[in-house]
Chains A and B, each alone.
Chain A
């Protein structure tokens, strides 16, 4: 404490003394520092207001609503852990959790592989690359609700383009959104239209790898595949980590596609967590239960993010940075 006081007195001599017996904040910071603090806070105030009003307050109040029975009208009534014990026996809750994890565990690795594949394909130094890049990137910019509507018709078992295109290969018409197993896979397929976004990131990563590394490996007799596995992939791992983190976030949030295309069906196979949460709150008006569901999702998100960060120390390489 004395150290700090001395240091601050040295920085702004006189000023600290003039304020007489200052309050704690003043004594710690001094007038100049305090003015800087106020200037800084003034500039970031939009974020600060948003952070407190639309993030901190909602999260805290959500914990409270999770312990209540609340219809959205009138007062929330405290019911203790009722909402949480209700989850234990709620088969649809477990089903939606299972569907969401199934989707995430499938969509994230598929997304990484597709994106890296596209990036490698684009990493050819030919002139048309910019056209291919634009074509691959464009769908990721388009609204998911429009892509969902397009997919309903594109994957229509009888009138859709996809089954029509597969027919010459002897593939029987697939009931894409009508069959429980295919429906989840179709939603994973739809997500791949966004792969262009990450492909562009991986492409930038590929181009940042010094060619000397490949040359050195070639001298050591490494083939294309082992160069890819031993050099390219390790050096892309920081970007893969980024893709995995964002991908998990999107995976846990999957909603729009299921809401528009399948409404959770068939046989609840695409009843994803957020769709179930949405139904509880906005269809059945059970805000208390929905809030408790949100709390569980929050903990799951946090838990998954921590696991990924924790294990990332083992598989992410930062040598070049």
Chain B
């Protein structure tokens, strides 16, 4: 069963290493006859891979920073600060988890256009700085486990709210913040619809959009496309192997209401 799930990845790497002639051999070869490592170099040179890579990385890094800061602030406000109307607004947050994003692509696009943000990275980065209902929910669940005695003790010592957050809550919430950072990073790296809508000039393209360049009207260079895909996927595979625990915890946390 695991083999079935890894077959697409195997086929990607195997195709990436095939020469043009071997690609069109019938029946297809399961193992590449003579691995063409130069495909990777050709793939990188075929499109402005470096630019697309840097663009993707920039969007991802700024999204992660924004997601960690904003969701921590909001989740703190929904867990350790007492204020009237808090629980009602939190229900609103939870309800919005289920609103499918494509439902609002048209009006959000018009709004971004009016702000003059089309063909910049801002429509892809700024929303990450404004909190995400699912991450707020996950973080709040986690922060609620921090005993109130701890934060109250800091307040008695005269700490202001942001000091309580910075000194007491932040150090204790690092595992949950790691999950948020990973999720936000993977989302930004994998996002296709956002860049497709907002990035118009080639200099701004991300890898998600750039991969289409291997496909011309008449021909698809699948070995190069697969080589480039391998390079796009590789950071994720490394990240996953390094932080498997966080990935799996994050997936499970969402369902435990």
Contact = CB atoms under 8 A, between A and B. Distances in A.
B15 interface: yes
A55 B99 contact: yes
Interface in B84-108: 84-86, 89, 92-93, 96, 98-108
B135 to A, nearest CB: 10
Contacts of B77: 39-44
A35 to B, nearest CB: 9
Given A253-B101, A256-B192, A150 B83 contact: no
Given A43-B74, A44-B77, A153-B15, A200 B252 contact: yes
Interface string A143-180: 11111011111100011110010010000000000000
A160 B15 CA distance: 10
Interface string A54-73: 11011101100100000010
Contacts of B78: 43-44
Contacts of A39: 77, 81, 83, 161
Contacts of B136: 47
Contact of A50 (B82, B130, B229): B130
B11 A153 contact: yes
Contacts of A214: none
B96 A51 contact: yes
A196 B110 contact: no
A252 B105 CA distance: 14
Interface centre among A135, A277, A291, A297 (most CB of B within 10 A): A135
Interface in A99-150: 118, 121, 131-139, 141-147, 149-150
Contact of B5 (A29, A55, A193): A193
B107 A40 contact: no
A154 B92 CA distance: 43
A141 B190 CA distance: 9
Interface string B217-243: 000101001100100110011001100
Contacts of A252: 100, 102
Contacts of A142: 9, 190, 233, 236-237
Interface residues of A, number: 87
A16 interface: no
Given A55-B104, A297-B102, A154 B7 contact: yes
A47 B140 CA distance: 13
B103 A146 contact: no
B193 A54 contact: no
Interface of A: 29, 33, 36-37, 39-47, 49-51, 53-55, 57-59, 61-62, 65, 72, 118, 121, 131-139, 141-147, 149-154, 158-161, 164, 167, 193, 196-197, 200-201, 204-205, 238-239, 242, 245, 249, 252-253, 255-256, 259-260, 274, 277-278, 281-282, 287, 290-291, 294, 297-298, 301, 305
27 contacts: A40-B81, A42-B77, A43-B76, A43-B81, A44-B74, A47-B70, A51-B92, A57-B107, A59-B104, A72-B113, A136-B5, A138-B6, A143-B192, A145-B190, A146-B232, A150-B229, A152-B220, A159-B28, A161-B7, A164-B27, A197-B251, A253-B101, A255-B102, A277-B102, A277-B105, A294-B106, A301-B103
Interface of B: 1-2, 5-9, 11-12, 15, 23-28, 30, 70, 73-74, 76-78, 81-86, 89, 92-93, 96, 98-111, 113, 127, 129-131, 133, 136, 161, 165, 186, 189-190, 192-193, 196-197, 208, 211-212, 220, 222, 225-226, 229, 232-233, 236-237, 240-241, 244, 247-248, 251-252, 254-257
Given A139-B5, A143-B208, A150-B229, 20 more contacts: A33-B84, A37-B84, A40-B83, A41-B77, A43-B78, A47-B70, A51-B93, A53-B111, A132-B2, A139-B9, A142-B236, A143-B189, A149-B226, A150-B9, A205-B255, A277-B105, A281-B105, A291-B106, A294-B102, A301-B98
A-B CB proximity, top 10 nearest: A43-B77, A50-B130, A40-B83, A47-B131, A143-B190, A58-B107, A135-B2, A46-B70, A62-B107, A44-B77
